[in-house]
Structures are given as structure tokens and as C-alpha cells.
């Protein structure tokens, strides 16, 4: 059974199946019997909730991306982190090379028109005294060597409201601010691509701890407590989603070396279609 809170209907369905509540009784149970109080609802179904096998639960997330070939590359290779994308024969890497930009990931160097730039972001940590260009090199390096994991959502109310990731990768926007040679590189990508949502499933072991916890210490403690806090959080988020009361975005961060294999991808949806399907629950079709 997939844990899916990407829209209110699928959240409602997961609660119905997991907690063994009849479809037409969930709202009455929560609002009337439990007085619209989550703690009361949680305790009512605690014996069932405690049996949820957290480590084998398949959790649904999705990435907003853009592609010039209807996600053919993802369909073949799956989803990978940014370092892999910049090190292999990928659409993004070929696009960058066509614009005279290449990367040597191991040496932490970027080449633009054969000019080498050091993108070891740790060298640029003292941002108070460095030049604007070095500040941007720090940001580029940060994306490649620190924030390079697969970033996704468990839920997003309006995927067009969260930056411009439906138009071009955040990395290209960061790159576009470096100098004249990279200016509008993100717009060039936007003009040849279409936006998509890639919906996938993964298990807890593949997610970075900060997807669900405020600190690694909290994660370790909850693991020792057999995931009692995480069970509660997952139920809470599903209830909030079922009542169309989720936060605008709930992020999902994968561990740096996690690969989403093609067989774990559930569907590929044009971004506009996905967006309309979610916004209809909020009266914003």
C-alpha cells in the first residue's frame, strides 16, 4: 500500500485502507466522534497505527522537471543526483557542452569557453570579503557538492509557485548569474523543453533524515523507539491532506547516492495537467 499524500483523494484512500475505516465514515469519525481533534483520532486507531511497517512502507514523492524528449532519458536511466547528471552523457550535460560549459566533478573545476573556474564551494565560505563572482562560484559549488541530491515533494499545492523549477533546473538559474557567458542559460533550456512531474515510490532508507525530522538526533532517537514519532507524523500529514489542509509544500530530500530506478517511477505527467488536478481541490482550477 503506497503512502501517497500528493492530493486529498489519495490521502483519504490511504487512511481508509490503512486504518480500516469505511470510506463514507472517515469524516464523521474524525469530526463527530473525535471532535475534530487529531490526538483523539490518533489514540482511537493507535493499535492499528503501531502495526504499520515503517521500514517497508513505500512512500510516494514527485520531482518537478523539464525535458526536451518527453522524459525519455529518465525512463531509461531513472532519476539521479546532479553529480551523476554532470558526469555522464545526459541531455543536460550535452546542452551545457553545446554552450561551451563543462565540468570536472572530481577536480571541482568548471570550464567556460576553456577558462577554468574553481567550484570548490568550501574555499568561498567567507562571503563577507569575497567578490560577487566568487560568491556565485560558491553557490554553483554548493549545488554540485552539497545540495546535489534528488530533491522532490511529498506534496505541493501549486508547483508553479515554487521557484521556476518547472521551466529549468535550479542549477541552470544559479549558473546564469555568473557572467555574460552563462547569462540566460536557463532561458535557453526553457525554450527547448517542456515541464513534467515524475511521480515515484521509495522506502524510508532512501530519504535523508531531514525530510521527516528537525535533526539527526531526533531521527536516531525515533529509530530506537521503533519509529513512533514518524508514524504519528505520517498519519497527521495524511489527515491534513485529506481535509485539504496541508502546508503549501512538503519537501522530500533523498540521500545523496539514492537512485530512483525506472521500475520505481509510477508515472510521468505533463506539469500543467498535474497542477490543474491538484488545484481543483482548492477551488483554483
pLDDT by residue (tens digit) across 201-214?
A: 999 999 999 999 99
216-233 pLDDT, tens digit per residue, is 999 999 999 999 999 999
Q: What is the mean pLDDT of residues 83-93?
A: 96
Residues 6+ apart with CB under 8 A from 180: none
- The whole model's pTM is what? 0.94
Residue 135: the pLDDT is: 82
Residue 168: the pLDDT is: 95
- Please determine, for residue 125, whether its predicted confidence score (pLDDT) is greater than 80: no
Amino acid at each position: 500500500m503506497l503512502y501517497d499524500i500528493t492530493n486529498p483523494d489519495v490521502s483519504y484512500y490511504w487512511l481508509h485502507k490503512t486504518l480500516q475505516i469505511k470510506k463514507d465514515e472517515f469524516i464523521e469519525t474524525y469530526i463527530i466522534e473525535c471532535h475534530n481533534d487529531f490526538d483523539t483520532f490518533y489514540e482511537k486507531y493507535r493499535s492499528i497505527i503501531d502495526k504499520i511497517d515503517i521500514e517497508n512502507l513505500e512512500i510516494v514523492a514527485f520531482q518537478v522537471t523539464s525535458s526536451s524528449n518527453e522524459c525519455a532519458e529518465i525512463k531509461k536511466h531513472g532519476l539521479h543526483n546532479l553529480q551523476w547528471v554532470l558526469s555522464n552523457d545526459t541531455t543536460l550535460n550535452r546542452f551545457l557542452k553545446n554552450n561551451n560549459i563543462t565540468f570536472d566533478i572530481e577536480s571541482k573545476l568548471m570550464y567556460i569557453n576553456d577558462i577554468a573556474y574553481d567550484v570548490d564551494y568550501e574555499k568561498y565560505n567567507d562571503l563577507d570579503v569575497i567578490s560577487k563572482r566568487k560568491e556565485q562560484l560558491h553557490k554553483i559549488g554548493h549545488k554540485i557538492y552539497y545540495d546535489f541530491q534528488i530533491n522532490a515533494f511529498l506534496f505541493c499545492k501549486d508547483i508553479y509557485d515554487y521557484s521556476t523549477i518547472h521551466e529549468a533546473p535550479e542549477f541552470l538559474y544559479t549558473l546564469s548569474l555568473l557572467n555574460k557567458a552563462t547569462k540566460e542559460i536557463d532561458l535557453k533550456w526553457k525554450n527547448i523543453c517542456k515541464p513534467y512531474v515524475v511521480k515515484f515510490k521509495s522506502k524510508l532508507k532512501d530519504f535523508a533524515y531531514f525530510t521527516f525530522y528537525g535533526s539527526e538526533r531526533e531521527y536516531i532517537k525515533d529509530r530506537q523507539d521503533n519509529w513512533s514519532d514518524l508514524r504519528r507524523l505520517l498519519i497527521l500529514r495524511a489527515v491534513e491532506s485529506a481535509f485539504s489542509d496541508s502546508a503549501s509544500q512538503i519537501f522530500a530530500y533523498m540521500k545523496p547516492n539514492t537512485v530512483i530506478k525506472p521500475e520505481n517511477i509510477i508515472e510521468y505527467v505533463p506539469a500543467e495537467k498535474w497542477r490543474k488536478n491538484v488545484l481543483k481541490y482548492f477551488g483554483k482550477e
